[in-house]
Amino acid sequence: MKVFTIGYEHDTQAHVIDKLRAAGVKVVVDVRAIAASRRAGFSKTILAASLAEAGIDYVHLRQLGTPKSGREAVRAGRIAEMREIYDAHLEEPGAQVELVRAREIAQARPAALLCYEADATNCHRSIVAERITRKGDAVVDL
């Protein structure tokens, strides 16, 4: 299995969709707690509609989003603290269910985990990718 990740921090919606299509992604798994954005084209409704026009499905797994305290930690550059907060969050039942769902989606067809941060190493989506992949699986940051 191959799982893609993508952040839209420095991209336009059109460029993100182009990257997804070029990689053969068939479904975007939005792992933001709040699927709204000040960046044009990345709020849930418009993003889902634009992806659909490009032949890409959209799924929002809200429970895989970072809790507010984790988002505050990453904005302050405290990545290790964000990881601790997020690891604890992933032990919650709702997050556990959505981790299973994310893995099932990624096993069924090419999927990309979407969040804001450009650098996946500073984003919780890399943690989700770690949790849903197994030995021999690949994670590709677009």
Chain segment 59-87, per-residue pLDDT in tens: 999 999 999 999 999 999 999 999 999 99
The mean pLDDT of 12-37, rounded to a whole number, is 97
Helices (H), 2-140: 13-23, 44-53, 68-75, 79-89, 93-108, 124-132
Q: Which phi and psi angles does 97 have, rounded to 5°? A: -60, -45
User: pLDDT > 90: what percent of the chain?
Assistant: 97
Which of the four pLDDT bands, split at 50, 70 and 90, describes residue 88? very high
What is the CATH classification number for the domain harbouring 29? Answer: 3.90.190
Q: pTM for the whole thing?
A: 0.96
How many distinct structural domains can be found in the chain?
1
Residue span of the structural domain in which 114 resides = 2-141
